[in-house]
Amino acid sequence: MKYASHFCDMDLSNQIISIRERKGITQAEVARSLDMVQSNYARIEKRGNKLTHEQIERIAQALEVSVSELLGIEQSGQERITELEKENASLKAKLGEVKALRADFENITKQLMLYDELFKERTQRSRELQEWAKDTIRSVEAGDAEAIVKLVRLIKDLYLSPSN
């Protein structure tokens, strides 16, 4: 494609801004891909600095568009089809990634729900054990012989059995 050796046009600046914003790319990101500081790139967008065809090609590459699209030149039907096929393939790949992330998220959510249930169950058991311990202590303090025998058996089972 042939175009002037220097292209200075506010329409080009507006086209660059429009494409960059549509793609969700920051000025800093474009500047980095062009190996320039963000303030110099911002001047291109604000003032429509004179651009060489090499600079136009580099900006198009940084924005991941064709030079024709950057310059606002209509593409042939086949070029547009090719571009749309590439975009479609990219979107399909991203959709696959999103589906995988969603499956991961669902698995993590299920695991968290299980952990939550286990935590609630253990908390409830802990409360029950505390109540039992309080009742047993009250019975032992009151001299209840049966409670004392049960407590001694429990201590033997827990701390003096051969498996411990």
CATH of 6-74, one of 3.30.1330.10, 3.30.300.180, 1.20.1250.20, 1.10.260.40: 1.10.260.40
pLDDT value, residue 10? 61
Rounded (10°) CA dihedral 44, 47, 50, 51: 20
64-101: pLDDT as tens digits: 998 888 887 766 667 777 888 888 999 999 999 999 99
pTM: 0.42
Q: Among 92, 90, 93, 99, which residue's Cα sits nearest to residue 23?
A: 90
- Among 24-38, 69-83, 130-144, the minimum mean pLDDT is found in 69-83
7-27: pLDDT as tens digits: 445 678 888 898 999 999 999
Residue 108 is encoded by which pair of tokens?
């993590």
Domain ranges of the chain: 6-74, 85-160
